[in-house]
Structure 1
Amino acid sequence: MSTTTTSNTFENDFHKNHIQINNFQRGLLTVGSAFMSIVDPYRADMIACLGETAGTSAIMYMMRKMESSEEGAEILRQKPRINSQTVDLDKLKKYPEGTLGRTYTRFLEDNNVTPDSRLPVQFIDDVNAAYVLQRYREAHDLFHAILGMPTNMLGEVTVKWIEAIQTKLPMCIGAAIFGPVRLKLKHRNLYKNYYLPWALETAHNSKFLLNTFFEKRWEQPLNELHKELNIKPLVLPNT
């Protein structure tokens, strides 16, 4: 797919899904979505809404980080999408074990998730800012895959700490802070002793994950990508 076609595809989707709101409506949506996100952390629609209505400064920060990187800037220019229409998942399943492509499809299989589940951005007026947030949403499962984190609460909270520190998105910060209260006792101990320290170290030491042009790296061995991004996989003690 050409750069122009890909960019125009996102822009077409943006105009189709965009909803114009005023400041009062934005404030109302922010308060309501923040409350519901705390009450029910599985409400993806409320979490998505909070990211759009309260995340302007964070999105601008993310955009600057991408613009300052050659690879990130290329992503912004091309505006690629990550879904079953743009990524040949059947082809990736045939890639050798240990490659990014096979790791990603195995993550989708093991956790029974699909790249088509990410909601479109609606309440952001600028098309480029909207794309940055859309890219974050669609890359979230790839973050899980390369970090080796499942989609259970322990895995989600761990990834959210890394995302919170790297992106500064309010909904990531909220999920990282309030999510652990829902952990079971066994997971809570693992979280405090291993997962949280590893997440904090990884967030601060690794490169900005959103600058990774995953679509050009499907054949790359995961251990090479880890070295490039300065990610040290979590190692748990034998139990």
Structure 2
Amino acid sequence: MQANPAIDPKTLILPENASLFTRLRIATRILMVIKGNEGNPVYGQTINACLDYNVYASLIQRIQRSEDGRHLLSKRPSLEARDLDLAALERLPEGTLGHGFARYFRDNKISPFETTLELKNDLDYIAKRYRETHDLLHLVTGYGTDVIGEIELQAYALGNLGIRTAMLIVLYGTFQQIKDRQSGVVHSEYMKRIWAAYRRGRASPLFLDFWFEHHWESPVSKVSARLCAPNERMN
């Protein structure tokens, strides 16, 4: 995706010892140009530096507490496009995680995450893992890929992981909803859905250390029950 011509690329560079205001400003500008180019390693690392390095460091400490988590950090499994065989996954029985994941990309006419980011440490890996699990989370949480569904998923990730980038996206998306008033959803209902997603994320087990790759043949419903607290909107 080409950068927004109204935004000077030089303004997307994080200076040393930047203030919180500068970090928020740069992160917001990156969100305006990164859609469709989420794998861009420069944008990805910059937005992480702006908001989430200490968050990821804290998450790594949590992941290291379990044997599975330590194994994941050691082996660094990947869900990038080049490491997935979508054709093989789609041949799995209907209702399984692998089949649903492959059909998700076909139905939405999109491709799996790709990046040229060089993984220099666990922090780089966890930041990458978070981004490449995004599409799987749509599947297991049930949140849609429309605008509001995307914001719900970000609210869920905020509750589960405390990712500040997710918080910024929720705030930015909510501002756009209020500004545009074109979503067809009553404002109070929208806020209930976002708050419910956040609470659900808070109540759910950490998903970032889960080996999705070991569960392609498991029913989506089983994986969802293991990873996700009940959805308040469905009760």
For the superposition of Structure 1 and Structure 2, which TM-score range results when normalised by the shorter chain?
0.7 to 0.9
Task: Give the Å deviation of 1:73.
Answer: 2.1
- Relative to 1, partners in 2 of residues 1:182 and 1:47: Cα closer, same or farther, differing over 3 Å? farther
- Relative to 1, partners in 2 of residues 1:172 and 1:230: Cα closer, same or farther, differing over 3 Å? closer
Task: Please name the residue that 1:222 is paired with.
Answer: 220
CA distance in 2, matches of 1:177, 1:196: 11
Task: Please name the residue that 2:159 is paired with.
Answer: 165
Task: Please name the residue that 2:10 is paired with.
Answer: none
How much identity, in percent, do the aligned residues show? 20
Assess if the C-alpha contact under 8 Å between 1:66 and 1:72 holds in 2.
Answer: yes
- Relative to 1, partners in 2 of residues 1:23 and 1:85: Cα closer, same or farther, differing over 3 Å? closer
Task: Give the Å deviation of 1:38.
Answer: 5.9
Task: Please name the residue that 1:135 is paired with.
Answer: 129
Amino acid paired to 2:215: R
Amino acid paired to 2:97: L
Q: SS state of the match for residue 175, structure 1?
A: helix
CA distance in 2, matches of 1:106, 1:156: 18
- Relative to 1, partners in 2 of residues 1:169 and 1:200: Cα closer, same or farther, differing over 3 Å? closer
Count matched residues.
212
Give the structure, 1 or 2, with the largest relative contact order (CA under 8 Å, sep 6 or more).
1
CA distance in 2, matches of 1:67, 1:34: 28
Quick check: which one's helix share is greater?
A: 1
Task: Give the Å deviation of 1:76.
Answer: 0.7
**Structure 2 stretches lacking a partner, 5+ long:** 1-12
Assess if the C-alpha contact under 8 Å between 2:140 and 2:220 holds in 1.
Answer: yes
Task: Please name the residue that 2:175 is paired with.
Answer: 181
- Matching of residue 111 in structure 1 with residue 104 in structure 2: no
CA distance in 1, matches of 2:224, 2:58: 24
- Matching of residue 35 in structure 1 with residue 31 in structure 2: no
Q: Cα RMSD (Å) of the superposition?
A: 2.9
**Structure 1 stretches lacking a partner, 5+ long:** 1-21
Deviations for 1:131-152, whole angstroms, at most 9, x for unmatched residues? Answer: 1111111111111121122322
Deviations for 1:43-67, whole angstroms, at most 9, x for unmatched residues? Answer: 7458633124431111111111211
